[in-house]
Amino acid sequence: MKQTEKKDSTGGPTRFLRTASFWALIVLIPLAIFQVMDTSRQVEKDLTYSEFRAQLDADNVVRVTITEGVKVEGELRRPLQESGVDVDRFNTLLPTEASQDLLDRLEEKGVEVEAKEAAANWVNYLISVLPWILIIGLWFFFFRQMQAGGSRAFSFGKSKAKLLTGDTPKVTFADVAGADEAKEDLKEIIEFLKDPAKFRRLGGRLPKGALLVGPPGTGKTLLARAVAGEADRPFFSMSGSDFVEMFVGVGASRVRDLFEQGKAHAPCIIFIDEIDAVGRHRGAGLGGGHDEREQTLNQLLVEMDGFESNEGVILLAATNRPDVLDPALLRPGRFDRQIVVDNPDVRGREGILKVHVKDIPLGDAVNLKILAKGTPGLSGADLANIVNEAALLAARYDKDRVYMDDLEVAKDKVMLGAERKSMVLSEDERRVTAFHEAGHAVVALRVPGLDPLHKVTIVPRGRALGITASLPEEDRHNYTKDWLEGQLTMLFGGRVAEEMVFGAGKITTGAGNDIERATSLARRMVTQFGMSDAIGPMSVGDQQHEIVLGRELSQRRDGSEQTARLVDSEVKRILEAAYASAERVLTSNRVRLDEIANALLERETLDADDIRLLEAGEPLPPLPTSEEPAPPALGPGSADAVPMADDRPAEGSGGEPAPALA
């Protein structure tokens, strides 16, 4: 401990002196260069006394300066040749001190005479040697820096990894919720580091590495920080992008330096975040075969499991793109474990919410279990954002606590988008939007098996003019064919309602996003899920794959042209069947369609309770008249306020995106 304090106390002044010396050299070098150039620019010709008298007699001397009565410096009227260069200045020495005869002669020729004392010898000496002192000092400075190896100017190949120390604020597994399985796997690695003999007595070996895989925002980096806080071992943290530089060989050098530091602190943990930046597929494609990224990856593979073993160094990495990683990186012996960190279930979401509200004063009626049930499919980052938005909303209205209504408003803002209160729609546009959303709502109510309605609104949110949101009663991992067909029917409910109420010539661009989602879902039903009798249980190549760096540019085709035409035909058949189903539902429920649309025009937003009252044929409660700030009603305005469908996704059929079907 004393040694550390001594090092810290002396490091500051030393660093200051180095920095000051460097900037002093930066300033003085141009001055020295200027001095050298200045002296070289003023070339003088040495004349003997006889030559000087000859130039004086030829009336070629303009002015002279006599120093100490002996040294004469002067300027010529007509330049002389010196090494092929015209020189108009000269200097000479007098045999004796300047006599009166010489002065009379100079005066006779009209020469301007100046007399001065000689400057101190040390000044002249300093001026003459200053450039050389600076040059030698500069080389000495850089030589010392190269020997030390710590200079930023010569440390391109040094690792940028950060070593977490005891002063770093610790994150423990208690701060992580919703990833119980991932925590168990990581706890086992930590236990191995603390007590390796417990596992080695049965022949077990220390895992080489663990790869955290999962969608963005699920807590992969947070888990790594928790490992750093729990392990009580040296923990090096680095980003995958830190390996890549413009200089050739820098990435491989940094990998070597990183593992050398790890071996020096073994047993330890090295964490590389976003490893897909350096671990992508090798081979042909956009990256070429010998680029800097591949050389960095090759060095990483060698360090993880090469000829020389790195005993006691565990590599922990995180990525949300495991599909682009090189297979050699994923094999056992390098990454022995792939730990999946997926979106949390309802219990996980409740646990995450409890973690984030730990330091927030909550109202008595706050029920996190209800909030967790109403946020299916959200990641840990989304839930943290909901809590933060609720706290900001409560602070905006000077509340002393965060209440349930604040959390509900924040949830809608995160899931559905922020309300665009400044967007003004005309009455015609409000009416079209109301019937469009009412069409989605009626289909959702009448088609069995669909998720219950959560909210219907014609208040613009995000990039949508209106939203019909459904929330599942429980987390769903598999989707039946009936549910998918019902979802397609619901997606077409808005367009069918527009056509039914206003006519085929008055349909709008509002269904653009609905049609896009329906087409994508129907195509996946045919090509991936085997839900078409014409195609059968066969996977048909999807031509919409992204070109991945390091993969081939060509797209592989799994079927013939005839199969492609058959796929298109089946997709169209499924979409037309869903459209016809939506027409039958809305035709038989036209009264309910009008009721919901009129209620939307009056209230702008209907929640699940309002929908339940309309279904039961009961009147809706009166609108609140509280003085609390409320969203202003959208009055008449210009139709130009609606952007074109190709500029934005038109209003969708729900606040949550189409489910990510596996």
ω before 624 within 30° of 0 (cis)? no
* Rounded Cα gap, residues 466 and 311, in angstroms: 59
> What phi-psi label fits residue 649: left (phi over 0), alpha (psi between -120 and 50 degrees) or beta?
beta
The H or E element spanning position 339 is strand 337-340
* Rounded Cα gap, residues 597 and 438, in angstroms: 5
- b/e string for 445-457 if b means 16 or more Cβ within 10 A? bbbeebbebbbbb
Are residues 109 and 59 in contact, defined by beta-carbon separation less than 8 angstroms? yes
Q: Token pair of 519, please?
A: 């087409």
- b/e string for 473-502 if b means 16 or more Cβ within 10 A? eeeeeeeeeebbbbbbbbbbbbbbbbbbbb
Q: Where are the beta strands (DSSP E) in 378-536?
A: 453-457, 467-470
Q: Can you name the residues that pair with 112 across neighbouring β-strands?
A: 63
Q: Can you name the residues that pair with 113 across neighbouring β-strands?
A: 64
Q: What are phi and psi of 310, to 5 degrees?
A: -110, 70
Q: Token pair of 256, please?
A: 């070597």
From 498, 491, 490, 535, select the one nearest 516 (Cα to Cα): 491
The H or E element spanning position 202 is none
* Rounded Cα gap, residues 157 and 596, in angstroms: 67
Q: Within 13 Å, how many C-alpha atoms sit on residue 5's CB side?
A: 2
Strands 85-93 and 71-82: antiparallel
- b/e string for 88-118 if b means 16 or more Cβ within 10 A? bebbbebeeebeeebeeebeeeebeeeeeee
Q: Token pair of 566, please?
A: 């058959």
Q: Token pair of 15, please?
A: 């660093």
* Rounded Cα gap, residues 476 and 449, in angstroms: 12
Are residues 514 and 653 in contact, defined by beta-carbon separation less than 8 angstroms? yes
Q: Token pair of 504, please?
A: 């085929």
Q: Can you name the residues that pair with 280 across neighbouring β-strands?
A: 325
Strands 112-116 and 61-67: parallel
For every residue of 409-437, DSSP letters joined together read HHHHHHHH--B-TT----HHHHHHHHHHH
- Residue 368 CB: number of other CB atoms within 10 A? 20
Q: Token pair of 262, please?
A: 């790890």
Q: How far apart are the first and last CA of the chain?
A: 55
* Rounded Cα gap, residues 365 and 330, in angstroms: 48
Q: Token pair of 390, please?
A: 């609720």
437 is catalytic: yes
Q: Can you name the residues that pair with 272 across neighbouring β-strands?
A: 238, 317
Marked catalytic residue, from 294, 437, 485, 656: 437
Q: What are phi and psi of 453, to 5 degrees?
A: -70, 140
Q: Within 13 Å, how many C-alpha atoms sit on residue 555's CB side?
A: 10
Q: Token pair of 488, please?
A: 């397609």
By annotation, the residues acting in catalysis are 437
